[in-house]
Every structure is written in structure tokens, then in C-alpha cells.
A and B are shown apart, each in its own frame.
Chain A
Amino acid sequence: EIVLTQSPATLSVSPGERATLSCRASQSINNNLAWYIQKPGQAPRLLIYGSTARATGIPARFSGAGSETEFTLTISSLQSEDFGVYYCQQYDDWPPYTFGQGTKLEIK
């Protein structure tokens, strides 16, 4: 089973600033990684797939990068609606699909 480790656990950033979240895989997953955001009381929402492709309706301030075992999600200028918990998910070697433990992005 592929283990995904996200860092940091919590990230405090001011609106308008840049945020960078990391996800590391226990073995190569090529570029088969997705990112989701979950806001309090809501279901997760797909942001990025294929490591770099934005899902429908996701603004350009969200960008994904990486391959093999190291991945990042960057939000170039944080808006109030961007705060929440971010999860990465691998779909290179499944079943099982696996998720990272999440990074909480909070307002500084």
C-alpha cells in the first residue's frame, strides 16, 4: 500500500500571500496524484489531477507540480474561500486508493 505523507500538518498564511503544501509518496506514483479541498461541514472537492491539471472551474491561482514521489500544491494569492483542509490522493497503484492525512490551511 502506498503511503502519502503531507506537510506541514497546519499552515498559517495571511490572505493575499502564497501557500505551498507538500505531499510525499512512499514509492513512485508517476504523476497519478490528485488534490482536494475540504471546508468545514462540506464534502471534499477536486482541485487538481494528474499532478498538474486543474479540475473544471478551479481558478488559476491553484497550481500543482511534481512527479514520482514529491508533489506540491501552490496557491499564489490566498483568498478567504481557500482556507480549509487539503488532501492529496494517489491513484497509481490501486486498490487501495490512499489519501494523505491532510494539511489544514488556516488564516494567520
Chain B
Amino acid sequence: EVQLVESGGGLVQPGGSLRLSCAASGFSFSRYHMTWVRQIPGKGLEWVSSIGDNSEYTYYADSVRGRFTISRDDAKKSAYLQMNNLRAGDTALYYCVAAAVGGTVFDYWGQGMVVTVSS
């Protein structure tokens, strides 16, 4: 069974930092591109960042570039999102997503981790 389990979310003050982790199981993690997608409660989906297999590329949405860093550890079958200088607008449910097929179609989704940025 495919599983993606996020951790590391919570409440943080504006300007603070959090590191989201995503533990994967049930599929060949190293062959998949990993992505983070966020969703403000009651709103739509927003792509945040992606990393290729073998970390061949990293991409970021304009809204987070320079503040967020995506990484992966294939030995641990895990992906990460380091979030610095957090803003109120970053408050959302963050999904860890695995994509095969060249990294473009989002095959597997975690259940999401809430990040709340508030003073």
C-alpha cells in the first residue's frame, strides 16, 4: 500500500521557520519526483515546489522562492520542505505528492499537514 505521511507542521509566528517532512512507503521512492502542493482551507490547490528524481532539478512557485527549500533523501525515502520567513499567507494545508511519468502527473498524495502562521 502506498503511503505518504507528512509531519512537522503546526503554529508558528510570522518570520519563523518550519520544516515539513514526508515519509514514503509502498512504491519505488527514488524513481518518483516529489512535489508539495498547498491548500488554504475552503480554497483551491496551489503548487508550491517540486524536486526531480536524483534531485536533478528543484522548482519553486514565485510566492515561496527564496524562502522555501525542497530536498529529498532517497535512503530514508523522505522528502522535505524547509520553510523560512513564514508569512500569514503561507497558512494552509500542505500536501506531499509523488509523481511518476516525468514528474508531471500527481499520482500519490499524503493526507496533508496544517501550517498556521499567526502571532
Task: Give the number of residues in A that approach B within 8 Å (Cβ atoms).
Answer: 23
Please tell me which stretch of A10-18, A62-70, A72-80, A98-106 contacts chain B, meaning at least 4 of its Cβ atoms lie within 8 angstroms of it.
A98-106
For A43, give the chain B residue with the smallest CB separation: B109
Q: Which residues of A contact B44 (CB under 8 A)?
A: 87, 99-102
- Asked whether A95 and B59 contact (CB < 8 A) given A43-B112, A87-B44, A101-B44, the answer is yes
Chain A, range 28-63, C-beta contacts under 8 Å to B: 32, 34, 36, 42-46, 49-50, 55
Q: Which residues of B contact A96 (CB under 8 A)?
A: 47, 59, 61-62
B104 shortest CB reach to chain A, Å? 4
Q: Which residues of B contact A36 (CB under 8 A)?
A: 45, 106
- Asked whether A55 and B107 contact (CB < 8 A) given A44-B45, A87-B44, A96-B61, the answer is yes
Chain B, range 18-69, C-beta contacts under 8 Å to A: 35, 44-47, 50, 59-62
Q: Which residues of A contact B50 (CB under 8 A)?
A: 95, 97
For B57, give the chain A residue with the smallest CB separation: A95
Whether A99 lies near B46 (C-beta < 8 A) is: yes
A89 in contact (CB, < 8 A)? yes
For A32, give the chain B residue with the smallest CB separation: B104
B75 in contact (CB, < 8 A)? no
Whether A49 lies near B105 (C-beta < 8 A) is: yes
Give the distance in Å from the alpha carbon of A34 to the alpha carbon of B102 in the complex. Answer: 14
- B80-99 vs A, CB cutoff 8 Å, 1 = contact: the mask equals 00000000000000010000
- Asked whether A49 and B110 contact (CB < 8 A) given A95-B47, A99-B45, A99-B47, the answer is no
Whether B61 lies near A46 (C-beta < 8 A) is: no
Can you list 13 A-B contacts (CB < 8 A)? A42-B111, A44-B45, A46-B106, A55-B107, A87-B45, A89-B45, A91-B104, A95-B60, A95-B61, A96-B62, A97-B104, A102-B44, A102-B45
